Structure 1
Amino acid sequence: MTLCCSSSHLHLLTVLDGNRFFGNRKGASGFGYLLSQKPTSFQSRISCKITSTEESKSQRTLLDNASNLLTDVLSGGRLGSMPTAEGAISDLFSRPLFFALYDWFLEHGSVYKLAFGPKAFVVVSDAIVAKHILRENAFSYDKGVLADILEPIMGKGLIPADLETWKQRRKVVAPGFHALFLEAMVRTFTDCSDRTMSKFEKLFENDNSDIEIELDLEAEFSSLALDIIGLGVFNYDFGSFTKESPVIKAVYGTLFEAEHRSTFYIPYWKLPFARWIVPRQKKFHSDLAVINNCLDELIKNAKETRQETDVEKLQQRDYANLKDASLLRFFVDMRGADVNDRQLRDDLMTMLIAGHETTAAVLTWAVFLLSQNPSKLKKAQEEVDSVLGRGGKITVDNLKKLEYIKLIVVESLRLYPQPPLLIRRSLKPDKLPGGYKGDKNGYSIPTGTDIFISVYNLHRSPYYWDRPNEFEPERFLIPYKNDSVEGWAGFDPSRSLGAMYPNEIISDFAFLPFGGGPRKCVGDQFALMESIVALSMLLQKFDVELRGSADAVEIVTGATIHTKNGLWCKIKRRI
């Protein structure tokens, strides 16, 4: 559940915290017409070609040159002497934007100005600068264009909310993710994962196959994540692994439209009467109405059975035996948190979309990475067998013993961060640190500057990681320091003893799987625990390998990093 502050950008690449849609399932029409992204093979993901400035200029189209000229005229001088990467609009049609940002990072440095169309953007690939923006000066920035894209869907939910609304709602939402709730959710994670594994086992029986079956695990993980978030957030069982209700269709339709908006360069949906004239906009508003009606009914039912009490007492309830342990129940029963139905609906919608993302994404890429590293896959299964046995259930106690599975999850988030970019907009003038090899005097930025914090660049930076493109879950057990990066404290697992996972404190902001600072994801532990449970239960019962080569798995991005045609795998019952 990525209820972070994370996210994207002005119709080039929005990284909605948690918006996920798979074009090959749930009646989707696919990603074929998303303007900004073209599938990229695995190999080109791992080793992005660095193009020199002169070579890049020679390859630009007339549209590219016009875009850069427009930037220079309208906003080119606002960011002073900051290194400049002149963007190519044509890149939007050739590969995901964050790959180009990585190339320019290696060429221009940790902080650079990106010229793209009517304005310039600042791209940050430096831990010290990221810490300044996300933690040290957090309230000098908001979400900028992200709020414009998400507002029709999430309203004033935590992700797109303005600072004042965010401060009020954070006080209500954050306490809901308390220890006893998370412990109770382990049972939900286990029950939902068990239903998915049982579905796989029945496929063997129906096919009379003792050898292997082929499944799109990305789609299966998407259904699993939706079921978990429905039960955990508002006590609603989507049952999406066995049925496709109108509500489920509406959820995926809404996610699809959000992703479409994040990657379409011109916001045509803002035109007068677009919602009544354009077929896809009519469908979007129809889908939204279906979801709103469902949420309104759930809110109404929860309020009719309200048992108001103090937050401390809510956190001490017997969640193990509570019939409704959902976050909605917590919010409705919290004394002093009276809120109108609209705000509750916005909170629930935000968590529905955000909570659907991280599990589906991390499980997809974890399996993808494990399938290429048989020794690590074997090590993971040995740990699962040691902790759970071949038929044992996951409990709160033995979940903590699945250490290697946890490292696999966080390493998958390092290599495939969800989202790959965080966006901020300055609310007042600020001075950013210069960053590694940047101007020691720093860079002055005016009010209204849009900033991309490239999580992808940070997570694969050769300055912060040894062998940054390699899948090495064990790396998180070993301290790492680069003395040439002045001011960076290095990666030190002992820095935050007791932390559930390697976080931004342990890495001094070089690792941001759930963001950082005050607007960090409030559902980070929820997301991590459900990922550990689901991956462990898959590996407990099945061997997994890709159908075909890793190069055949093409990547597309809109709101998140996902595959073009699903993650098709061959699974076998473990003997």
Structure 2
Amino acid sequence: MATCVLLQHFHVSDSCFSRTPYLQSSRTSQLSKLRPGGSSIRCQSTSTDKQKSRNLLDNASNLLTNFLSGGSIGSMPVAEGAVSDLFGRPLFFSLYDWFIEHGSVYKLAFGPKAFVVVSDPIVARHILRENIFGYDKGVLADILEPIMGKGLIPADLDTWKQRRRVIAPGFHALYLEAMTKVFTECSERAILKFEKLLEGEHLHGAETIELDLEAEFSNLALDIIGLGVFNYDFGSVTKESPVIKAVYGTLFEAEHRSTFYIPYWKVPLARWIVPRQRKFQSDLKVINDCLDGLIKNAKETRQETDVEKLQQRDYQNLKDASLLRFLVDMRGADVDDRQLRDDLMTMLIAGHETTAAVLTWAVFLLAQNPSKMKKAQAEIDSVLGQGRISFESLKKLEYIRLIVAESLRLYPQPPLLIRRSLKSDSLPGGYKGKKDGHSIPAGTDIFLSVYNLHRSPYFWDRPHEFEPERFLVPRNSDIEGWSGFDPSRSPGALYPNEIVADFAFLPFGGGPRKCVGDQFALMESTIALTMLLQKFDVELKGGPESVELVTGATIHTKNGLWCRVMKRSDLH
């Protein structure tokens, strides 16, 4: 039960959304100086009666927490009043408030359970890299296992080690270079669709179209994942099919399970009695049947060879350059169909959600910063003109790549990383924390707040501002244990990463369990954004205050990102 409560309804109403590209909220005037948006808008009720009842609830919750788990986690600040603060606000915004109030490592008192919240790169580095095998995915694996099985995200450590060794080589340089063509061709479908819609509107005297770009990006990302990973064309930009409906049904169920209070789907017979669970099982069967067919076809045409030779194939002219082809053809990597299906399902869900969210928030931020949009378009015109993008030209689109990175900093996907200690450990104290750190027992659930890390006022200048240029400037550190920000620390990297920021920037995690498809996702986002801005100007239809934010597996909008799309006025 606690595992679902802690990820409950990350929702923010539009009355809490500020004119700036982040949310406004206030608990105390002291905190407002460091919190996004200041203190002019409140998200919580100040009714005296409600406050009294919430105080009673808080006291009862904290007494229960201290009685059942308070002594099991080492002495650290406690975020009390957690239950009432979660009413009507997203969890990760409350985590930010308590971070500013209590410091980099604190305990979240939550009914019969306590969680350790980490908002510090020094501690994050310890968990993700220095003591990687002392932690697993904990409650996240519990939620995702029915959908992703033993895929890379929910897999236990032994399975993860085995599958990582097989999958990681598949994302090699020649494959990613070949994927540039896939990313471009899929993006061209979306661009052509927009142009046709504009032509239709132009016949009626209109120069703009109104589109939910989040939905369009979601369709585009699904097409890219299908072709790049499975060699399957969903065609979702222009049509709908039973497989597409099943994919979205599964995505919605994954989000439902991460935001619902009680894991009722674990109740015996629930999968047959509860209508939405019956639909979920039906959706899974449609997708699994599709994947099974693709796996069967790939195995029937298998050309087994060593991994080095697989990486040297002529991917530019290969009819099937998919990751599935690589995995099936790899010598010595035989695996049953179920494991392959779990691998593919994981990449389908995780890869699709992340890319759609990155593009959504990149456009949301650019629409509020027209000068930065024009700067991006000027770079595109200089590098590409009206020509097609290539792998080599992508390397020259520096500002576009930094926009993608900055969008991930402000809206990390996901905003929380979840871990559980497999054995007792001693966490570093972090910045301004206890010198001797914090002892935690085995079984401790930990929230690594990527949102807090990315917006920390201690490790970033103007942390809530949209400034893609920040990644070009080194930042020396006077913080003991943190080596600062240095772009030269990761030579040859196209995008900023956890190495250049010494774990203050974790767009795809860090350490051995870092997302294996990070470059795939970053490149497809860059190409799709480039092709959109190459042809069109974009404005928010109702202003930023009309965009409601919700969070399941990723941060996305409640009702879509509705924009006015028009042909660029400066093109001749």
TM-score band, normalised by shorter chain: over 0.9
Per the TM alignment, residue 204 of structure 1 is displaced from its structure 2 partner at its CA by 1.2
Report the counterpart of residue 49 of structure 1 in structure 2: 26
Q: Deviations for 1:246-283, whole angstroms, at most 9, x for unmatched residues? A: 11101100110111110111111111110111111111
What's the secondary structure of 2:539's corresponding residue? strand
Aligned partners of 1:523, 1:286: CA distance in 2, in Å?
28
Query: What is the correspondence of 1:404-419 to structure 2 with a 5 Å cutoff?
Result: 404-419=399-414
Report the counterpart of residue 382 of structure 1 in structure 2: 378
Per the TM alignment, residue 42 of structure 1 is displaced from its structure 2 partner at its CA by 2.9
TM-score relative to the length of structure 2: 0.93
2:281 to 285, 288, 291: 285
2:180 to 165, 182, 186: 186
Letter in 2 for 1:10: T
Per the TM alignment, residue 296 of structure 1 is displaced from its structure 2 partner at its CA by 0.5
Letter in 2 for 1:119: K
Return the structure number with greater relative CO, CA threshold 8 A, min gap 6: 1
Q: Is 1:36–1:93's contact at 8 Å kept on the other side of the alignment?
A: no
Letter in 1 for 2:410: L
Report the counterpart of residue 418 of structure 2 in structure 1: 423
2:116 to 116, 122, 125: 122
Query: What is the correspondence of 1:488-503 to structure 2 with a 5 Å cutoff?
Result: 488-503=482-497
2:344 to 343, 348, 360: 348
Per the TM alignment, residue 46 of structure 1 is displaced from its structure 2 partner at its CA by 3.5
Q: Is 2:222–2:234's contact at 8 Å kept on the other side of the alignment?
A: yes
Query: What is the correspondence of 1:135-534 to structure 2 with a 5 Å cutoff?
Result: 135-207=129-201, 208=203, 209=205, 211-389=207-385, 391-483=386-478, 485-534=479-528
Per the TM alignment, residue 118 of structure 1 is displaced from its structure 2 partner at its CA by 1.5
Q: Is 1:112–1:122's contact at 8 Å kept on the other side of the alignment?
A: yes
- Cα 1:498–1:114 change in 2 (3 A) is same
Aligned partners of 1:243, 1:222: CA distance in 2, in Å?
13
Q: Is 2:86–2:94's contact at 8 Å kept on the other side of the alignment?
A: no
What's the secondary structure of 2:107's corresponding residue? strand
Q: Deviations for 1:19-48, whole angstroms, at most 9, x for unmatched residues? A: xxxxxxxxxxxxxxx855343543294344
What's the secondary structure of 1:237's corresponding residue? coil
Q: Is 1:217–1:566's contact at 8 Å kept on the other side of the alignment?
A: yes
Per the TM alignment, residue 59 of structure 1 is displaced from its structure 2 partner at its CA by 7.2
Q: Is 2:271–2:277's contact at 8 Å kept on the other side of the alignment?
A: yes
Q: Is 1:87–1:114's contact at 8 Å kept on the other side of the alignment?
A: no
Q: Is 2:540–2:564's contact at 8 Å kept on the other side of the alignment?
A: yes
**Which sits farther off after the overlay, 53-62 or 299-308?**
53-62
Letter in 1 for 2:418: I
- For structure 2, list consecutive stretches of 5 or more residues without a partner in the other structure: 32-45
Q: Note the aligned Cα RMSD (angstroms).
A: 1.8
What's the secondary structure of 1:447's corresponding residue? coil
**Which sits farther off after the overlay, 142-151 or 485-494?**
485-494
Letter in 2 for 1:173: I
**Which sits farther off after the overlay, 47-56 or 126-135?**
47-56
Letter in 2 for 1:334: M
What's the secondary structure of 2:141's corresponding residue? helix
Q: Is 1:463–1:482's contact at 8 Å kept on the other side of the alignment?
A: no
Aligned partners of 1:339, 1:142: CA distance in 2, in Å?
23
Letter in 1 for 2:346: T
Q: Deviations for 1:319-361, whole angstroms, at most 9, x for unmatched residues? A: 0000000000000000000000000000000000011022111
- Cα 1:350–1:99 change in 2 (3 A) is same
Q: Is 1:12–1:97's contact at 8 Å kept on the other side of the alignment?
A: no
Q: Deviations for 1:383-416, whole angstroms, at most 9, x for unmatched residues? A: 0011110x21001111111000000000000000
Q: Is 1:121–1:449's contact at 8 Å kept on the other side of the alignment?
A: yes
Aligned partners of 1:235, 1:162: CA distance in 2, in Å?
28
Per the TM alignment, residue 93 of structure 1 is displaced from its structure 2 partner at its CA by 3.7
What's the secondary structure of 2:559's corresponding residue? coil
Aligned partners of 1:76, 1:66: CA distance in 2, in Å?
14
Letter in 2 for 1:442: G
Note if 1:39 corresponds to 2:38. Answer: no
What's the secondary structure of 1:312's corresponding residue? helix
**Which sits farther off after the overlay, 79-88 or 218-227?**
79-88
Aligned partners of 1:362, 1:505: CA distance in 2, in Å?
21
Aligned partners of 1:414, 1:36: CA distance in 2, in Å?
18
What's the secondary structure of 2:447's corresponding residue? strand
Q: Deviations for 1:212-244, whole angstroms, at most 9, x for unmatched residues? A: 111000000000000000000000000001111
